[in-house]
Amino acid sequence: MQDNTQGRVWLITGCSSGFGRELALAAVAAGDRVMATARRPEALADLAEQDGIGTTALDVTDPVSIDAAVQATLAAYGRIDVLVNNAGSLVLGAVEEVTMAELRQQMEVVFFGAAEVTKAVLPLMREQGSGTIVQMSSLGGQKTYPGFGAYHAAKWALEGLSETLATELAPLGVRVLIVEPGAFRTEFNNNKYVTEQTAAYQDTAGATRRLTHELSGVEPNDPVKGAAAILKVLDSDRLPLRLLLGGDAVDGLREHHEALLAEVAAWEEISRSTAIA
């Protein structure tokens, strides 16, 4: 076991690219230590060459793999201070176009996988009386777009679980941060799974298919800057429950919430008409 006096210890899922990789590099640059994981650990070979970064396999859909990765982190560093649930996938298609098998697989990776990793680490953090769980969600964890129904379902479920978890853990000294990025220039968009298309949805889900294709490689946000923002927030004494990343995320969520409030006001009289006289 290594000396435990230096920095925080991170366990990060989905480090083969994107936010997972950049968070691992940023954490080590800040003096912390990292167990970087991926379903295929050979994709982490270059990270393994960095001082302060260990690597191991972690498949979020395999409980045995999750437990092995947690134990590997404890064997190497003796504790876990920051868990980042970053592993993800994207199924793109209208709700009718998504098969039940595809929907279940989306939920397995994005929701159940993150939930299982979280539950594997929670007892350790409770015993320490400290720690932070970072749930990598999305603007799509609160706002929806045609064609992303399966993805939204998984992210909304993750956010509901995480918001509840935050209230349960606050008295125990463990924090929860839900990160909601907009469009970042990572490989995430290129690695999406696209369903069979139905002509009836060309103007809705089909438009989203075309937009995501056009956005690939020209996304407006930098994952290096996104990782730096997350580290800065983690150092805050007043951790927010949610952290939007990107001007597109801020603008999109503000527009969404304004529309929600307007609808509440428009139908308030009927909403309140149900009271027992």
Give the largest CA-CA distance in the chain.
Answer: 71
* Residues with catalytic roles: 137, 151, 155
**38, 239 contact by CB (below 8 A):** no
Distance, in Å, from the CA atom of 25 to the CA atom of 7, rounded to the nearest integer, reads 14
Distance, in Å, from the CA atom of 153 to the CA atom of 8, rounded to the nearest integer, reads 33
64: CB partners within 8 A, 6+ apart:
none
Phi/psi for 124 (5° steps) reads -65, -45
- How long, in residues, is the chain? 277
Instruction: List b or e across 88-119, with b for residues whose CB sees 16 or more CB atoms inside 10 angstroms.
Output: bbbbbbbbebbeeeebebbbebbbbbbbbbbe
Q: Which two tokens stand for residue 114?
A: 């993150």
Distance, in Å, from the CA atom of 159 to the CA atom of 166, rounded to the nearest integer, reads 10
Estimate to the nearest angstrom the gap between the alpha carbon of 232 and the chain centroid. 17
